[in-house]
C-alpha cells in the first residue's frame, strides 16, 4: 500500500508523487476541500493497526470497546472481514 498526494482540477486528477513499482492498482480517494483544509492534515504515514479493535483505538474510539453496544457484536463477521 502506498499513500500518494494528488490534486484535482478541472475534472482531472494529477498525481504529485509517483506510484512506485505499480502497473495497475485500485485507488481509494479522500477529498479534502482546498479552502477548508486544516493545518492538521497528515504529512507522513505510519503502519496501520493489525485488527479492527486496534484501528478503532487508533482513531480515538477506544472508549467504545467493552461497552454494552460492543460486547455482543462480531465486528469481523458484520463487515465480512477476516480477523488476523
Number of domains in the chain: 1
Q: Which residues of 75-84 are buried (b: 16+ CB within 10 A; e: fewer)?
A: eeeeeeeeee
Quick check: pTM over 0.75? Answer: no
Q: Could you read off the pLDDT of 41-84 as tens digits, one per residue? A: 555 556 655 676 677 667 766 666 667 777 777 878 888 887 66
CA pair distance 1, 79, nearest whole angstrom: 21
User: Looking at the domain assignment, is residue 25 inside a domain?
Assistant: no
Residues, the chain: 84
User: Looking at the domain assignment, is residue 62 inside a domain?
Assistant: yes
CA pair distance 15, 59, nearest whole angstrom: 27
| Containing structural domain, residue 66 | 49-84
User: Looking at the domain assignment, is residue 35 inside a domain?
Assistant: no
Amino acid at each position: 500500500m502506498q499513500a500518494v498526494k494528488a490534486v484535482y482540477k478541472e475534472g482531472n486528477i494529477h498525481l504529485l508523487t509517483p506510484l512506485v513499482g505499480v502497473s495497475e492498482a485500485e485507488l481509494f480517494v479522500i477529498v479534502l476541500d482546498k479552502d477548508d483544509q486544516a493545518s492538521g492534515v497528515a504529512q507522513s504515514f505510519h503502519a496501520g493497526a493489525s485488527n479492527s479493535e486496534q484501528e478503532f483505538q487508533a482513531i480515538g474510539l477506544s472508549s467504545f470497546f467493552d461497552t454494552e453496544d460492543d460486547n455482543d457484536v462480531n465486528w469481523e463477521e458484520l463487515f465480512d472481514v477476516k480477523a488476523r
